[in-house]
Structure 1
Amino acid sequence: MTTKDLEALIERVRHWPKERQDDAAEVLLEMERQDASRYRLTDAQAQEVARIQRDIREGRGTIATDEQMAALWKSCGL
């Protein structure tokens, strides 16, 4: 995407409903926060995340239940 393309997109966003503009701003702010973070996935970790996402999309993966997540957080002292 060129700078011109980005500018055209931002101009279109200005005409979106306020709620959608707020959503877009949140996404951009989160990207900015992530760029400022000192935490980075290794290439191997990023590949593993992509594999898990693919497995879930294709119906091969599973997602933890609320109960399983509650037990995990409890075991971490949270």
Structure 2
Amino acid sequence: MTKQALEILLERVSAWPEEAQEELMRSMTDIENRHLGIYRLSDDERNAVRRGLKDMRDGRLASDEAVAAVFDRYSA
């Protein structure tokens, strides 16, 4: 999309219903945060990271052989 096309589209947004404008703002904010902002983990993601780190500290890691076997199974 060219800068000119984007400017034309943004000019038309003012004629959209308020609900559609709010939806656009949420979408644009999400896109900006994904590309430029700091990613915020959800509670589920944070808990998964904590479980993974605990497993690592407790030595519960897959062996190199087990990992290679998984890759071999799906690379055929």
TM-score by length of 2: 0.47
